[in-house]
């Protein structure tokens, strides 16, 4: 959805990540409302949430900044090594769920939870891009939709709750935790083992 740049913040001598929205998306949203919504998400303070540092607009281009995490995404880890051990999967899911629960208690929803947005730093999960998709939806004039007025889909269809997908959206809200479960199922061998266990049980009974 965004172009990503690694930059140096000279004032504080640190590396930061700048995410720039594509022009077709920037033209479909209100820059001021986008910044207001991002400000709400930036107030989140939790050890498993990557904070938003700033957001703005320059020459018609919308952007936001985050700290640089020296690690990798859950997507990269899964692509490199395949399924994770059950204990590690449970730990990461607990950390992600804790981050979601805290954010929901503060009135902030993620709207684009997926393995790419779960960063791994020193063995712990850090959820990135919190509230960005929701901010874009609100800035486009309708916070209940997953599509902007320009037809740009907000979020990732493969990880959207069924009622949020453009072709099947209804007025019912499905919690982000639904997508948390979907993300978790891609990194754990538990489901496959459960199916094998059930089959083995049927064989023993016969």
**Angstrom distance (rounded) from CA 15 to CA 23:** 25
> Could you report how far apart the first and last alpha carbons of the chain are, in Å?
52
Distant-in-sequence, close-in-space partners of 14: CB < 8 Å, separation ≥ 6: 8, 67, 68
Q: Which of 112, 100, 81, 92 is nearest to 1 (CA)?
A: 112
Could you say which of 70, 98, 112, 116 is catalytic?
Answer: 112
Name 49's bridge partners: 127
Non-local (6+) Cβ contacts of 121 within 8 A are 69, 70, 71
**Known active-site residue 59:** no
| C-alpha span between 46 and 161 (Å, rounded) | 25
C-beta neighbour count of 149 within 10 angstroms = 12
What does the alpha-carbon distance between residue 50 and residue 58 come to, in Å, rounded to a whole number? 24
Q: Count of residues for the chain?
A: 206
Q: How far is CA 143 from the centre of its chain?
A: 17
Catalytic residues: 112
């Amino acid at each position: 959805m965004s172009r990503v740049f690694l930059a140096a913040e000279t004032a504080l001598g640190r590396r930061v990540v700048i995410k720039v929205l594509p022009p077709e998306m920037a033209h479909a949203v209100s820059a001021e409302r986008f910044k207001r919504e991002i400000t709400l998400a930036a107030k989140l303070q939790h050890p498993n949430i990557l904070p938003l540092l700033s957001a703005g607009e320059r020459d018609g281009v919308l952007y936001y900044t985050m700290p640089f995490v020296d690690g990798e995404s859950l997507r990269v880890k899964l692509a490199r090594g395949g399924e994770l051990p059950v204990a590690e999967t449970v730990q990461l899911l607990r950390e992600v769920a804790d981050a979601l629960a805290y954010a929901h208690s503060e009135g902030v929803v993620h709207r684009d939870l997926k393995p790419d947005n779960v960063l791994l730093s020193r063995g712990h999960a850090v959820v990135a891009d919190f509230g960005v998709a929701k901010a874009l939806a609100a800035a486009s004039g309708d916070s209940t939709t997953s599509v902007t007025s320009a037809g740009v889909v907000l979020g990732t269809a493969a990880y959207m709750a069924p009622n949020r997908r453009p072709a099947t959206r209804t007025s019912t809200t499905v919690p982000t935790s639904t997508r948390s479960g979907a993300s978790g199922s891609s990194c754990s061998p538990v489901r496959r083992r459960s199916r094998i266990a059930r089959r083995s049980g049927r064989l023993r009974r016969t």
